[in-house]
A and B are shown apart, each in its own frame.
Chain A
Amino acid sequence: MRRVVEKLIFERSHRGTRGALIAGLDVPSKGVAALVPADLRRGKDPMLPEVSEPVVVRHFTNLSVLNHHVDKDFYPLGSCTMKYNPKINDRMASLPGFAYLHPMAPEASIQGALALMWELERALAEITGLPAVSLQPAAGAQGELTAMLVARAFHRSRDDHDRVEVIIPDSAHGTNPASVAMAGMKAVEVKSNAEGRVDLEALHGVLGPRTAAMMLTNPNTVGIFERRIDEIAKAVHAVGGLMYLDGANMNALVGLARPGDMGFDMMHLNLHKTFSTPHGGGGPGAGPVAVRSDLAPFLPAPTLVREGSTYRLEEDRPYSVGRMHGFIGNFLVLVRALAYIRSLGAAGLAEVSHQAILNANYLLARLTPTYAVKYPGPCMHEFVLSAVKQKKQGARAADISKRLLDFGFHAPTTYFPLIVEEALMIEPTESEPLGTLDRFVEVMIEIAKEIETDPEKVRNAPHTTPVIRPDEARAARQLRVKWTPTRDDG
C-alpha cells in the first residue's frame, strides 16, 4: 500500500490557529514588560506550528500507521526481545497516584512508590540471584556504565588502581565496549571459538593483574549458552576480576537459571526486554543493576532503605559511584515491570523462558535446511542465520530483511553479531503462537526461492512500504536535521 506524501506538522500550520486553550489569567497582571528585564527578553516567537486539535490528531494518527509495531505483527528483532506488552501494566503506570507523583515530595508523601520499588528490587534479586539492586539506571547501557563504575570503585577501595582492562568477547553488543570507554577503562577483545563461545585459551591469554572485569552476555549474542561458564568465571575471579553479565538475553534464563549462581558478580536487566515494558519507538526503558552483597555499598546513591514499615532514600553513601539519574530512575517503567512479574508469578516466569527457547529452536530447525547456520543448535531464546548461500545467489542479508517487510513482518537484526557473515539474528520471544512462527517460516523459505529464481526482486525490496530504501548516504552528506521554512521543495 503506497500512501500519499505526508506533510510535516509545520506544513499544516495556519497563522492564529491553536490546538489547546489556556484559561484566562486570574491574578492581577503586571505584564511581561514589568516582570522580565528588557535585556533578558526573547526577540521573536519560536516558529512552532499553529494547528487545531483535529489537525494534530489526524496528523499523528496518519504518521503512526506508517510504523510496524508488535501489536500488529511479528517483530523477530534479535537481541531486542519484542514480546507482547500486557495492557494492564500501562493502566497501572497511569494511576494518578504514580503518574502525578512529584519526585521532590517529602518522604511521607512517597511511601507507596518506595514500597513498590522495594518489592521490585526484591523480585529482581530473587530472579537474578544477586541480592543488591539499584533501580536507578535509565536503560541497559546506563546499567552497564553503572556497573563498570562500580567495578572501578570496588578495585580502588582495595587500593588496586591498575585494573583498567575489561574483557569483552568479539560477539558482544556495541554498548559493552562503549560503556567501558565511558567509564574510563579499556576494552580488551577476546575471540570466540568455533562453537561461537568464549575461547578459554584466548581468555587466559588476556587475563591478568590489569583485569578489572569481564563483560559477558549469556546466552551470548549467537543465542547459545556459555556451557563452560563455571570455568570462565573461575579464571576471571582467579586474577581478581569481576564477572559482569549483560542481561539483554535474560529472557532465556528467567525462572530457569540465575546469573548469581553462575559466578556473575554484577549484571543489568533490560526491563523493556525481559519484563515486557513497551519500547515506545526507542525508549524509555530501564536498566536496573543487581550485584553481589559486598558490592552493594558502591551502587548509585540514593539507595532505597527499609526501616520497619517505612522506606527512605539514603543519600549519604560514602562508597557509592554517585548519582546516575536526575531523580530516582524511570519509575513508571518500574511500575509496569512489577505488574508483569506479579501477573505471571513464579510459574508464569518459568514458562517465559521455556516457551521462548522452544519457539526459537522450532524456527531454527525449520529454517536450517534453507539458510546456513554457523553455530548449530540447540539454541536458547534466539539464533543467528547466515545468508552466505543467498549472497552467492545474488541477494544479501539486508535484502532478505527488506523483503520480509513486504510480507508484513519486521526484519531480524541484520549484520549482527559481527562474527557471523551475512547475519540474520532472530528472536521470536514466547509471545508468538505456532501459527505466526509457521507463517514466518513459509515466508523465509519463499524469499529463499525468490533469490534462486529472481534475486533482483529481493534485491529491490521492499516493494510495498510507505517509502523504499531511503538514501542514507545523502542524508549524511546533505545534512538536514530540522525543518526550515525557506526550503525550496516545501
Chain B
Amino acid sequence: MLETIGASSFEKLLAPVPMHLRLQRLLDLGEPQSEYQIARQFEALAALNDVPGKFTSFLGAGSYDHFVPAAVDHLSFRSEFYTAYTPYQAEVGQGTLTTIFEFQSMLAELTGMDLANASLYDGASALAEAGLLAASVTGKSKIVVAGPLHPNYAQVLATYCRGQGIEVVADPSPDGTINRGWVRDALPGAAAVVAQSPNFIGIVEDLSGVFADARAQDAKAIQVFLPHALPLYKTPADMGADLAVSEGLSLGSPPSFGGPALGLFTSRLEFVRHIPGRLVGETVDRNGKRAFVMTLRTREQDIRREKATSNICTNQALLALRATIYMSLLGPQGMREVAEQCLEKAHYLAAHLSSRKGFRLPYKGPFFQEFVVETPRPAWEVIAQARLKNVLPGVDLTRFPELQAGTNRLLVCVTEKHTRADLDHLVEVLEGAARG
C-alpha cells in the first residue's frame, strides 16, 4: 500500500503531525482482551447490579419496566437496521425511512397531535427543545412550570434555557397538583407553560384549563405525557397542547439504566417549520412509486448552521424502531390492556398498602400507575430493609429536595409485569420494614 501511495514509510504520512505532539508510548490501557475475557469482566460488573430476576422492583419516576415482546429484539438487532447510518441516501435507506414514517404516524395517533418528529435524545431534552421552540416563536423569554414536573426534566430545561437567557419559574404545588391561580399570575410575558400529566408523583390532571389560560396570554402549551397512559386518558391534543413531549423508552425497550432513551416530540402543524430534529415525509420517486425522504431539511444544522432550529444531528432511530415494532405487536387492544393492568394493579396495591397501620397516601387526586405512599419510618430505612428481602420498593422522594416532600415518602410504580403475588409481597415486606 505504501508503494502505491508513494511513501517510503508510514511515518512519511504523518509528516503534518509535529513530532513533539505524537505520543511516544502506548496508551495505558492494557493488553488486548479476548471475547471470553471481556465477557467474564463485564458479567462480573453486571452481577453487582440489582435487577429484576434477583430483585422485585417498584421503581418508576420516569423509567418504566414494561413487557418487551421477543420479536422487538429479534428485528431491531438485524444488521440492516442496526449497522446503518442516518438515511442520507434515500435510495438505500427506505427501510429506516419507512419505519420512521410509521413511528411518526403511530405517535401522532397515540397523542392526537398533528405530527411527531423522528425522535430526540430523551424526554428531558425533548422538553428543553420544546421550551426553546416556544421562546423562539413567541419572542418571549420566560417559561412557567405548572405542577410537579420530573425534577430531572426541570433541571435539563433550565440548563438549555440558561444559555439563551430564558427564565424558568416553577409552581411550588405543595398539594401535588397545579395551582392554577399561581400559574395565572405567572403567565404574563411567558413563552410557554409546561405541565406534566400524569405528573411526577403520579397524579393525572386535566390540563385543559391551564392550557386555556396559557392561550389567553399568548403562551404556548407544552405537555409532558406518558405514552402508556394514553390509551385510557385524554390526549395532549384533547387538552389543547401545542407541543407534547415524553420519554418513550418504555415502548419496547428495557430501562437500560436510563439510556439510550427515546425523546418523543410531537406538535401542532403550525410549528412544523420550527421543530427540532429529523422529519420523514412521503413523496414519490422518479417512477411515481411511493417513497420516503427526510424533509424540511432546511431547519437542520448541517444546512442552516447557526440559524438551525436545533443543533441535534444524531437522534435515537433504533429506539424509535423498537417503539414502532412494539406498538405494531401490541396494537390498540394490547396497548389498552397494558394500561388497564397498570391502572388496576396500582390501585390494588395502593388500597392494600394504605390500609396497613402507619401507611397512608398523602396526595389526593386520580393516579395511573404511580403513587406516593407515606411510610411510618424514613423512606431510606424502609428501602434498606426491603433491599435485604430482594425488593426495591420505590424511590425515596428526599432524592429530590426541590419537592420538599419530607423524609417518609416513597414513589411506588406498578406495571403490567407485576403479579398479585409481587404486590402482596411488597405489602408484607414494607410492613416488616416499617416495624424494623
Contacts and interface: CB of A to CB of B under 8 A. Distances in A.
A443 interface: no
A327 B75 CA distance: 27
Nearest to A228: B18
B11 to A, nearest CB: 11
Given A126-B29, A327-B259, A378-B16, A36 B366 contact: yes
Contact of A101 (B49, B78, B310, B329): B49
A85 B235 CA distance: 40
Given A178-B304, A257-B21, A326 B153 contact: yes
B261 A327 contact: yes
A283 interface: yes
Given A46-B335, A49-B328, A96 B94 contact: no
Contact of A225 (B16, B304, B345): B16
A106 B259 CA distance: 17
A482 B105 contact: yes
Contacts of B124: 323, 325-326
Contacts of B230: 42, 46
Nearest to B124: A326
B416 A22 contact: yes
A467 to B, nearest CB: 4
A49 B333 CA distance: 10
B167 interface: no
B332 A45 contact: yes
B187 to A, nearest CB: 23
Contacts of A377: 13
Interface residues of B, number: 196
A63 B292 CA distance: 12
A149 B28 CA distance: 31
Contacts of B61: 104
Contacts of A410: 85, 89, 92
Contact of B83 (A60, A85, A405, A482): A85
A482 B39 contact: no
A470 B293 contact: yes
Nearest to B380: A106
Given A20-B69, A280-B82, A322-B156, A479 B329 contact: no
Contacts of B45: 97, 112-113, 115-116
Contact of B335 (A48, A105, A187, A324): A48
Contacts of A113: 45, 49, 257
B96 A466 contact: no
A409 B275 CA distance: 32
Tier of interface size on chain A: 35 or more
A65 interface: yes
Contacts of A280: 81-82, 84, 316-319, 321
Interface in B75-116: 75, 77-96, 98-99, 101-102, 104-106, 108-110, 115-116
Contacts of B259: 103, 138, 284, 325-333
Nearest to A277: B260
Given A174-B308, A327-B261, A378 B4 contact: no
A68 B337 CA distance: 37
B86 A67 contact: no
Given A35-B343, A36-B232, A362-B4, A22 B334 contact: yes
Contacts of A402: 89, 91
Nearest to B367: A35
Q: Which of B162, B259, B302, B312 has the most CB of A within 10 A?
A: B259
Contact of B39 (A92, A142, A279): A92
Interface in B20-40: 21-23, 26-33, 35, 38-39
B328 A67 contact: no
Nearest to A65: B80
B137 interface: no
A50 B46 contact: no
B29 A95 contact: no
B185 interface: no
Contacts of B331: 17-19, 48-51
A171 interface: no
A345 to B, nearest CB: 4
Contacts of A345: 29-33
Interface in B115-135: 115-116, 118-119, 121-125, 132
B328 A56 contact: yes
A66 B89 CA distance: 12
A182 B38 contact: no
Nearest to A479: B281
A318 interface: no
11 contacts: A18-B330, A19-B69, A35-B347, A111-B49, A142-B311, A149-B162, A328-B257, A330-B261, A346-B30, A475-B293, A483-B105
Given A39-B206, A60-B321, A149-B162, 4 more contacts: A66-B93, A283-B318, A333-B260, A342-B30
